[in-house]
Structure 1
Amino acid sequence: MRRVTMLLVVPVLGIALVVTAGALLAPWRDRAPVSRDTARDTDPIAAAQRRLQRLPGDWNTWAELGLAYVQRARVTGDQADYPRAEQALGRSLEIRRNDNAVALAGLGALAAARHDFPAALRHGRAALAVDPYRAAALGVVADALTELGRYDEAFRTVQRMVDLRPDAASYARASYTWELRGDVGRATDAMRRALDAAAEPADRAFARRHLGELAFGTGDLGTAATHFTEGLRLLPGDPPLRTGLARVRAARGDTGAAIAEFRAVLTAVPEPAYVAELGDLLTAGGDPVAGAAEHARARAAWAAEAATGHPPEADPVLFAADHRDPAALDAARRLYTRQPGIAGADAMGWALRAAGRPAEALRHADQALKLGTRSALAHYHRGMILADLRRTADARAELETALRLNPYFSTRHAPIARATLASLGR
């Protein structure tokens, strides 16, 4: 499934700052880091700091600085910025304790970034109590509700956000609500509206990236390649766009070019999910030893993150279940407790299947598809669980659905889906 990171646009010293409100609206894929050089080029932190040197009591700029730190942590993956964000937002509230919706919304974005979605919801609602018309706070609330699996409330909040401010941030969230409900056409239309409304090149590149991922999710490689390429013209070197184009190349059979692209990206951004995907590509390309080495690197990087208190995410849980790691189920439980929505349910089901408990796994796989999400990976997971339960006809239907939705959905799992279908017969 596709992991989406949504937009939360707030004005920062006249600059449109795109702040992601959690790792968030993001159930299906890795975080979306960019290189530190790219982040520095678009980072408004220095401008905020210069202004605060002149106006140290400017509570609004302190709040904006906190939001900027949240954004930088999100795009670089450096969690050291989160305490800086907390300090700046706290300073804003010290100066202006009451009626400070900007800082409260910032605390909500920070809590979501740390995967504390109940706290994100609480802060977002506190911001709305101060300013019911603050679109950024509506975004925080919508994102938190989505990750908590409270979809009806989340969708109503997104609609309110669109009604209040039909801009790139609200259209991007609207796109995701349609994607969750399985309406890829409306999801694409809403993301095109986000593209049209985006004022900054980085925001337009964001929309291009997700339009490319929507197209790739349906197996439309040509359209996906076009969007990824256009996005890279707007934001050269952006790792998510580059890896999107690499996946298209792999799907077209050019595994060597895809491997080279992933290696190049990883020199700038050592993201564990990209390392794991490189391992899959190397294995598929006929070098299982090199693939296993990359898988070991990814495993070690995720273990290091966990040792620092980083909350569980879907990617490492699914990876652990893929490799039959005995720790996968415990990690899945912790993820599902924090995020009892589609992402957590899918990971929980896959980990239960890896633990040899397919009957329990099926209940979670059903939950992951309850909204009608057209995810090839989720259908594949459900199909393999059904195969374990010897429900042959149902398993065939699910695996055929996965491959019909996107024959290229996973370098690792698409071949397994085909082989399993062949073994099940007709």
Structure 2
Amino acid sequence: MNAMKTEQVRQVRRAALAAGVGAVLVGGVLLFVPDEERAPQGPEARAMAAVGAGAPASLSDLTALIRERENWLRTHPEDGQAWAVLGSAYVERGVAAADPAYYPKADRALQRSLAVSPSGPGEGRPEGDGSGKHGGGAVDSKPGKGIRTGNPEALVGLASLANARHDFVAAKRWGESVRAQRPAAWTSYPVLIDAYTGLGDYKAAGKALEKLRELHKGAPVLIRAAEVYRDRGRREDAVAKATDAAAHAGSPAERAKALDTLGELAWERGEPAEALGHYEAALTAARGRPQSLAGRARALASLGRSDEATREYQSALAKLPRPEYALELGELYDSLGLDGDAQTQYETLRERAERARGHGVNEELVLGRFEADHGDPQAAVARLRAEWERSHRSMEVADALGWALYRAGQGREALAYATKATEPGRRSALFSYHRGEIERSLAMYGAARRHIEEALRTDPHFSPLLAPRAREALDALGEPEEGGPKDFYGSGPEKPTLERREPAPPPQV
């Protein structure tokens, strides 16, 4: 009898996890409470709460949730909600470990959820996509226009998967299909914020954030608010939200993520010592967190503590092999004259990007950045122009494409993209430096000086490789004439007004 009761309790718990609702057991009775009032207990519950909220979760908690869902589904293969949970957990596991091998598994689980989960009349298939696929059968992983389904949990999971693969057009389509069905449900808005940001639609991201804040509270929402505010240049607001997130975090992973955000904001405004403090606090909250190790490495490099920085980068890469970390470490080695070590990291970057591509991940942005400075600028232009044409028009893509065009000798077109990168408002030393160098190559000396000075004022150590070149560029430009430009009130074309050397061709990095 006791064994039977224990098994019943276990089944109730599993049902609660599968449904993704807040629940506690009191005397064998399931009680449901709002998300904000519950404190998830146990690794599966913590991971479930994080996955459902688009919040960070520890690898150990995600592993426990995946194991629990896999075991449940062996005996309950028609549980569509459990398949949705498992698919979303696979996505988060892939992101947390930079392991793209989880993404095809996530896709299969989410498609299985769509296939077995009940749908309402006329629902469960993409409309007008010509696929001829219907609810109850295989569903195309590419969203069709006007898609409707009775399984929004699986669609949110597919949107998260598309974001993880940097397919922001698909993520937007999935997320908007859920929002159209259930505009008062908050779960579609986090994935939409990520999708709109990847597409460079910062106005839409801001509106999605406003709606999310109306519908849901908590540290994950505050962290997203900080990220949106940062992109719009509202740095003080971003710091305030990230600080609140750290204070209200419901788990060590959430607190570490908030502290990482504070560290990144401090590093971007040229305060590496403060950034280092935030990253170390994050590592106290979540020991060995690789994102915090990489941030700490970045801050140490800015402080001139290169040996420590290289060790931290190596530790971060061993746990989280992101191509962008390999690029950063390679450029640190380059700045130290360690060409062989730099080339090793660049080869690692290529290998990891190629492996990710095999699992459906788009790494064209980091590959384009790498090719522009360390490979073939023309290849960088081709990669990044294709990204732009795919509607991936974020400020990062605009900056990278502008720089690649400059490095390929197409300065006039480069300036148009560099200007787009700086328009949304983020105060980025790298973006300002790139724009200033492009302007210098076009003999726009006043604008060049203004933007290169802005880069060094924002963060004098923004790159171990490029910050010294920014200072050299200012020296080459010289000082403005006394009294300002002679043609200040004139209507003719801008005339050179600085004591300077002739602009150099794009530097060979």
TM-score norm. by structure 1 comes to: 0.88
The answer to whether structure 1 residue 178 and structure 2 residue 229 are counterparts is yes
Q: Which residue of 1 aligns with 2:466?
A: 413
1:375-386 to 2 correspondence within 5 Å?
Answer: 375-386=428-439
Aligned in 2, Cα 1:146/1:243: closer, same or farther, shift over 3 Å?
A: closer
Higher RCO structure (Cα 8 Å, ≥6 apart): 1
Greater alpha carbon shift after TM alignment, 116-125 vs 295-304: 295-304
Once the two structures are TM-superposed, the CA of residue 306 in structure 1 deviates from its matched residue by: 4.6
Deviation at 1:307? 6.5
Residue equivalent to 1:66: 87
| Contact 1:109–1:120 (8 Å) recurs in 2 | yes
AA partner of residue 73 (structure 2): L
Aligned position for 1:350? 403
CA distance in 1, matches of 2:428, 2:47: 32
The CA deviation at 1:311 is 1.8
CA–CA distance in structure 1, aligned partners of residues 349 and 260 of structure 2:
24
- Structure 2 CA distance, aligned partners of 1:270 and 1:233? 22
Q: Judging changes above 3 Å, is the alpha-carbon distance between structure 1 residues 42 and 68 closer, same or farther for their aligned structure 2 residues?
A: closer
Name 1:168's counterpart in structure 2.
219
The equivalent residue for 1:218 is 269
Q: Residues 83 and 297 of structure 1: is their aligned pair in 2 closer, same or farther, counting only changes over 3 Å?
A: closer
AA matched with 2:369: L
Q: Which residue of 2 aligns with 1:192?
A: 243
Residues in 2 aligned to 1:286 and 1:124: alpha-carbon distance in whole angstroms: 47
| Residue equivalent to 1:91 | 112
Deviations 1:326-356 (A, max 9, x none): 3111111122223112122111111111111
CA distance in 1, matches of 2:355, 2:180: 39
Larger Rg: 2
Alignment TM-score, normalising by the size of structure 2: 0.74
Q: How does 1:271-286 map to 2 (within 5 A)?
A: 271-286=322-337
For the structure 1 residues 258 and 62, does the alpha-carbon distance in structure 2 shift closer, same or farther, using more than 3 Å as the test? same
- Deviation at residue 309 of structure 1 after TM alignment: 5.4
- Per-residue deviation, 1:121: 1.5
Match of 2:292 in 1: 241
Return closer, same or farther for 1:41/1:109 CA change in 2, 3 Å cut-off.
closer
Give the SS at the match of 1:135: coil
* Equivalent pairs, count: 404
Alignment of 1:336 with 2:383, yes or no, is: no
TM superposition shift of 1:173: 1.7
Name structure 2 gaps, 5 residues minimum.
1-19, 23-43, 120-149, 480-509
| Structure with greater helix share of residues | 1
Give the corresponding residue for 2:46: 15
Q: 1:11 to 1:240 in 2, by over 3 A?
A: farther
Partner of 1:79: 100
Residue 327 (structure 1) aligned with residue 379 (structure 2): yes
Higher mean C-alpha deviation, range 284-293 or range 387-396: 284-293
Identity %: 36
Instruction: From the superposition, tell whether residues 97 and 414 of structure 1 become closer, same or farther in structure 2 (CA, over 3 Å).
Output: farther
Q: What is the match of residue 427 of structure 2?
A: 374
Query: How far did 1:78 drift?
Result: 2.1
Q: 2:187 aligns to what SS in structure 1?
A: helix
Give the Cα–Cα distance (whole angstroms) in 2 for the partners of residues 102 and 85 of structure 1: 13
| TM-fit CA distance, 1:97 | 4.0
Matches within 5 A, 1:101-116: 101-116=152-167
| Structure-2 change in CA distance of 1:310 and 1:62 (3 Å) | closer
Distance in structure 2 (CA, Å) of the matches to 1:294 and 1:92? 40
Q: What is the aligned partner in structure 2 of residue 394 from structure 1?
A: 447
Amino acid at match of 2:295: G
Shift of 1:422: 0.9
Shift of the alpha carbon at 1:405? 0.5
SS in 2 for 1:132: coil
Shift of the 67–293 alpha-carbon distance from structure 1 to 2, 3 Å rule, reads: closer
Structure 1 residue 139 displacement after superposition: 1.3
Deviates most, 373-382 or 331-340: 331-340
Paired with 1:263 and 1:96, the residues of 2 have a C-alpha distance of 44
Q: 1:17-69: CA deviations, max 9, x gaps?
A: 545999xxxxxxxxx9x9xxx62454321122233345433222211111001
How far apart are the structure 1 equivalents of 2:103 and 2:203?
Answer: 30
1:145 paired residue among 186, 192, 196: 196
How far 1:142 moved relative to its partner? 2.2
Change (3 A) 1:279 1:341: closer
Distance 1:306 1:55 in 2: 33
1:90/1:151 Cα in 2 relative to 1: closer, same or farther (>3 Å)? same
